[in-house]
Structure 1
């Protein structure tokens, strides 16, 4: 089962996909947002589907795919969480998670354009597994409790302008990662049980392979990250956790940075695929 938001920007319709069928959720909720998750919305959707109360969404296949969760409270990101990526970045593997933030205003749908900021010279792609938080979590007792507060998983592209992220005094990670359109997310929130410790994660630019790894190479796994984050802040329903990217980005020096006309594609097995055209701002 997958939650989606389909339609024009600002007028997305909440939807449920089960196998190939897409159902209209407007009889259950106005939107898929933090309030929906906090109020047991996922359980209500399951009940409505099981009872046969949902109707197919006409024309779903032709609708734009929007950000799958509206207005998340926080977009939390983990840096250098794959050893090979840390190495290509010129860093030792971190001894504890590196936390930074993206502005939620950077989020766009899975197939929306990436708009390069003016004078962009080092805009980069980063394929990432993203956790969607489904319940409030503060100081979880152990990583084993993390599963209880996860609503589902989706695909993210942590687009980064490296000249801002790394080229400014002291490093400005959040600045370099928060430009408008620098957070393609989706296509959906997968609610079914996901083996998040062993998912293939890949990216391409203009059809040429870039990243090809799996989440088993994470330094800190999903359960540890959610537990660790709950020790230093309060996680709320609808919060997003970008869990890090594997090797194969332009920062490695092996590939050119993004430029006008490029096409970026990202996939994670079982979670779907993204495709973004890159345009100059």
Structure 2
């Protein structure tokens, strides 16, 4: 990176919340079903063997769809397959870029990652000051873990029945910024914290968690995000944010980014300095500095 830093500053009001522990209702799949159109040669027994967790799972499908004979199905008939029965095989991600002090803990081994390294479910990514790591998911989505953050890759799966991917990450401290490709059902994408779950099928959003205050904040840039804490839930659209804690969520508008004085001035000194023009109603500002023009690989 050159000494003349080409940087963009974005700002938003941080959301506040109270301490809590949470149980999510967003990602519950117990009642969700996937429509399947019967093809020539299909039987319930064969479908269970190929796409479900256990061969005998066909019995529940038979009962709920009122199928008289599990070995005889009408071609073109639509079956409602419970998603919780569908087999999801392990999927993989990879390290797409990183900078500074980054650690990958995987399979009981902790160390610095390498570009292109395969990342599997349960891996933990940690970043130090002025560092970042970018995780590329198998469907083209990506997640950036900025500085001073720790994120666990809690779910990387792909459904056998149609190849739909289902991914989830847990922000244990700090932040995660996601740009998610639209997902095919029954796949999805979620970012969890100790007090909330933010779930989407395709959007651009950020999630942060502060350990000291047990506060969780979700900021939506594009699309929509469902956020749940306990039994409370809110749907945030673009330019909205959600604070979550104590089994409760609060939907708030995000303030626009403040104007910068001389934003195009070259930054040639060791310390990057911007003059922020005060924005009415703002309590604080959050700045991001990235080493790419698209503000994907933000490190500070």
Q: Per residue, is there more strand in 1 or in 2? A: 2
Q: Per residue, is there more helix in 1 or in 2? A: 1
Report TM bin, short chain.
under 0.3
Which structure has the greater CA radius of gyration? Answer: 2
Bigger relative contact order, structure 1 or 2, given CA contacts below 8 A and separation 6+?
A: 1
| TM-score of the aligned structures, taking structure 1 as reference length | 0.28
